[in-house]
A and B are shown apart, each in its own frame.
Chain A
């Protein structure tokens, strides 16, 4: 079972995503900001990261930047959640190492299809 780390400071949304992804067959865990996610990754690792962009303490951009310079996580697939208008931040996210982004609000079936495509592309799974 793939382990997916969800980093989302809106508690209700993060938990809702985790519930949805658990139903879809993932081992989904939720953290409220990038610092908590970074700490959890050191201890438990993950197969994929789904992170919001704007968060307190450590935002999604800093998290992805840290991942890409750490040999343990530099290939870890990352999908970012952004607000539609934040084009510059999307570009910055890609340049720092994110693999894909989704604009909020989003539909869960689209999120699942994007995660599965990302898995195929980066982890070599067939879905």
Chain B
């Protein structure tokens, strides 16, 4: 699809779908949350479900369903000596286990003990939502290497999109991320396409196919121009990176 001159668009991309469509079509990643605190179960369950994870809450390690790919979030307070064998066995069958806890369970000695017993990670129960989600998505990428990234960054990290939630941010002069005004679904698809193929000339026909799919033949070229102009406006000064290559298409190129 990407030509020798860095241009995309000579082959028919029909059927491959946009990054947005692929992210939406992904099977949910299974998580088993085994926690003593009902408040934590409710809070984490809500966070994880909102991010598209499929969450089950078995009572103990021995109640885990077999033969299903996913990860385990396990409360250190519920771990007994006899569970260490089960932990090792999960580790050997490549089921990632993240142990969480607080207070004395989170001392350096106990972190080392859990990791050596087969846990893949140890996190504090007070972990912030955004860090927990980002960490679990990193785990999901390892368990399912074909999974689609839902956060896309430009090469210089000045533009970022969350394709799952349809949000975008640009980097301000101070270095902080500032959310753009809401993008339409077409603008989001366009931005995701440019972020997944940075520094590449995307020909107009290629963009039309990737964003509008089967309906591409019915879309006027001027419609694409209008959407690009609107996206540029919403990206503010970072919108300058979305360059027009006259007579051919567009490219996301950051200085």
Residues of A within 8 A of B (CB): 61-62, 65, 75, 87-88, 90-92, 94-100, 107, 109-110, 113-114, 116-117, 120-122, 124, 126-127
Cα distance, A120 to B116, chains bound together (Å): 11
Partner of B155, one of A65, A98, A113, A126: A65
Number of chain B residues whose Cβ lies closer than 8 Å to a Cβ of chain A? 28
Please give, as numbers and ranges, the residues of chain A lying within 8 Å of B134 by CB-CB distance. 90-91, 94-95
The answer to whether B10 has its CB under 8 Å from any CB of chain A is no
Nearest Cβ distance between residue B36 and chain A, in whole angstroms?
23
Cα distance, A116 to B177, chains bound together (Å): 34
Contact A98 B138 (CB under 8 A): yes
Nearest Cβ distance between residue A45 and chain B, in whole angstroms?
19
Cα distance, A92 to B176, chains bound together (Å): 12
Residues of B within 8 A of A (CB): 91-92, 94, 96, 108, 111-112, 115-116, 119-121, 128, 130-131, 134-135, 137-138, 141-142, 145, 149, 151, 153, 155, 157, 177
Contact A113 B153 (CB under 8 A): no
Please give, as numbers and ranges, the residues of chain A lying within 8 Å of B149 by CB-CB distance. 95
Contact B120 A88 (CB under 8 A): no
Contact B120 A120 (CB under 8 A): yes
Cross-chain pairs A/B with CB under 8 angstroms, 12 sampled: A65-B153, A90-B131, A94-B131, A95-B134, A95-B153, A96-B153, A97-B138, A100-B121, A109-B112, A113-B112, A120-B91, A121-B120
Contact A75 B115 (CB under 8 A): no
Nearest Cβ distance between residue A65 and chain B, in whole angstroms?
7
Partner of B111, one of A87, A100, A110, A124: A110
Please give, as numbers and ranges, the residues of chain A lying within 8 Å of B151 by CB-CB distance. 95
Cα distance, A113 to B91, chains bound together (Å): 14
Interface of A is mostly: helix
Partner of A109, one of B94, B108, B177: B108
Please give, as numbers and ranges, the residues of chain B lying within 8 Å of A65 by CB-CB distance. 153, 155, 157
Contact A117 B120 (CB under 8 A): yes
Contact A113 B116 (CB under 8 A): yes
Please give, as numbers and ranges, the residues of chain B lying within 8 Å of A88 by CB-CB distance. 177
Partner of B138, one of A61, A99, A109, A124: A99
Given contacts A117-B115, A122-B142, A126-B92, contact A91 B120 (CB under 8 A): no
Please give, as numbers and ranges, the residues of chain B lying within 8 Å of A99 by CB-CB distance. 138, 142
Closest 3 CB pairs of A and B: A94-B134, A113-B115, A95-B151
Known: A97-B138, A114-B121, A121-B96. 7 other contacts (CB 8 A): A65-B153, A110-B112, A113-B111, A113-B116, A114-B115, A117-B121, A121-B94
Closest to A77 in B: B142
Cα distance, A85 to B242, chains bound together (Å): 33
Contact B157 A62 (CB under 8 A): yes
